[in-house]
Amino acid sequence: MYRNLEECVLDLEKNGHLIRIKEEVDPYLEMAAIHLKVFEAGGPALLFENVKGSNFPAVSNLFGTLERSKFIFRDTWESTQSIIGLRNDPMKALKSPFKHLGTGLSATKALPVKKSSTGPVGMREIKIEDLPLIHHWPDDGGAFITLPQVYSEDPEKPGIMNANLGMYRVQLTGNDYELNKDVGIHYQIHRGIGVHQHKANKLGEPLKVSIFVGGPPAHTLSAIMPLPEGLSELTFAGMLAGRRFNYSYEDGYCISNDADFVITGELHPEDTKPEGPFGDHLGYYSLIHEFPTLKIHKVYARENAIWPFTVVGRPPQEDTAFGALIHELTGSAIKTEIPGVKEVHAVDEAGVHPLLMAIGSERYTPFMKVKQPMELLTIANRILGTGQLSLAKYLFIAAEEETPLDTHKEVEFFTYLLERIDLRRDIHFQTNTTIDTLDYTGTGFNTGSKVIFAACGDKKRELCTEVPEHLKGMKEFVEPRLVMPGVVAIEGPEFSDYETAEQQAAALSAAILEHGDMPTCPMVILCDDSEFLSADLSNFMWATFTRSNPSHDIHGVNGFYDNKHWGCDNMIIDIRRKPFHAPPLIPDPEVQKNIEKFFEAGGVLESVKK
């Protein structure tokens, strides 16, 4: 049970989970590039002791493997898991009160504790310019905080038990930001801080915000936890840390007395500045948009403060391990929240929100001989109306019947669904709706479409295991390659505009129909590079679901409309790069060359191999 980040760092080092880098490292691209290479190799946490331009050391890759994360939380893991389980099923405690007595006591001990003081305990005042200003990707707009804990309180019901703690990226430098005077806070839709700022705006007053960086690792994890209703992030932080969240107030701002750094300031109504670009977790840059500006009040650092950071990019990255950790802690919660659902898998390789796979039940009409999705559609709508799951773009849902299903076995799951789906009946669109802020495939900022693919019942088709003859020998559409059973990628001309794309999809459909029906290949992916797409499953999932807008990019062979319902015989998903898509993340080759000295013979990271 760590009282602060320094204790965690020392413990990881003692147990072989952390390496110190004593040489000076540039926070402009070099630190991020080293982190990415070490993460890719499954390497240790990294303590950068000599950060150019700052007197503070920085640590990264703390949560780089599930094994290391569980090691960090080894003393509190099981009790925290039990408490979350009780929140989802309180009847367990009533049926076995003595068995669950310990977890109840643990929860009580986890309540935040306020310390009376005349200022932040053990901290001194600094400036933004004193921090490690880490620039992660070449085209980033400036330096960012990538592991912040952004704290705000409900203006109508102030107090820590009505607070929100979220991980919203913070831009420290660049663009129009005045160094040491203001920073940008990028928060997306469906975030608690948005509700707080909305209330503050209605009251005509600024929203006081505190940004905590560091502290016990449990505090970092708590900022991204999808917690059951009524369980606050601060209480969870105390449970997982094994000690109560220790706080005080200074000038009306909440201060985490265990944090390594605290930034306080105000969000004023309608006060925004351009934020971004930022290399984000979908593997592309999120572009420049207006976001709230935090007017800096004070910045604090504790004695022996360490700056934690991570680097996001095309998955998997360190946040993938975060996701695995969260799934182990809360995986059963979804079953209680959405009756009839067995499993929901937000696919990391596809950037999380673009692709959900789900397993549900089909119990509405057990007396009917021919089954079709009914309860599945009810469950699908519940999924798309639940918290962060509502940001999903593609939802593939199947009923588990005689055959056991596992959404983490993606090829088997896709195969099962494609064998059973009725493409003329069971594709359901939601158009002109909200999508993930980081997704640039839609028709505008936060605006796009969603689609549900639902399947149950008996197998309807055998799936091709090689490229069908229908897709060979075309002039305009070339290089067909099998991705998985029933899915073939084929290259088309470079995308120009949607009017032309409609004509090209119609031409591809007509070329396929020249040979008759093609029942064994329900999914055709129209792409720029079929070799890349078919090389491995992660390429397919990343490119397909991060580069398409369902309402605009799904076409069909024998496509039709029947009272506003659309169906087809074979679906065509156009994932060619569009001019308005965000650019992908590409490392700086010169920086890659410069960091090789750390990995060569005699270098501190010599033992870390790709």
User: Do residues 23 and 604 touch, judged by C-beta distance below 8 A?
Assistant: yes
pLDDT category at 321 given cuts 50, 70, 90 is confident
Q: What does the pLDDT look like over 159-184, one tens digit per residue?
A: 898 899 999 999 999 999 999 999 99
Q: What does the pLDDT look like over 181-214, one tens digit per residue?
A: 999 999 876 677 888 999 999 999 999 999 999 9
User: How far is the C-alpha of 500 from the C-alpha of 515, rounded, in Å?
Assistant: 24
Give the sign of the dihedral formed by CA 102, CA 108, CA 110, CA 116: negative
Which two structure tokens, joined as six digits, stand for 450?
A: 């969603």
User: How far is the C-alpha of 489 from the C-alpha of 116, rounded, in Å?
Assistant: 64
pLDDT category at 93 given cuts 50, 70, 90 is very low
3-state DSSP percent of the chain in helix, strand and coil, to 5 = 30, 25, 45
User: How far is the C-alpha of 376 from the C-alpha of 390, rounded, in Å?
Assistant: 16
Q: What does the pLDDT look like over 490-535, one tens digit per residue?
A: 999 999 999 999 999 999 999 999 999 999 999 999 999 999 999 9
Average pLDDT over residues 359-374: 81
Average pLDDT over residues 277-291: 95
Is the preceding omega at residue 277 within 30 degrees of 0, hence cis?
Answer: yes
The torsion region of residue 252 among left (phi > 0), alpha (psi -120 to 50) and beta comes to left
Rounded to 5 degrees, what angle do the CA atoms 409, 379, 368 make? 95
Exposure of 52 by Cβ count < 10 A (0-12 exposed, 13-18 middle, 19+ buried)?
middle
Average pLDDT over residues 358-386: 86
486 vs 270, which has greater pLDDT?
486
User: Do residues 516 and 507 touch, judged by C-beta distance below 8 A?
Assistant: no
Whole-number pLDDT of residue 11: 97
Rounded to two decimals, what is the model's pTM? Answer: 0.92
Q: What does the pLDDT look like over 8-47, one tens digit per residue?
A: 999 999 999 999 999 999 999 999 999 999 999 999 999 9
* Domains of the chain, start order: 5-309 (2.30.110.10), 332-455 (3.40.1670.10), 469-574 (3.40.1670)
CB atoms within 10 A of CB 210: 26
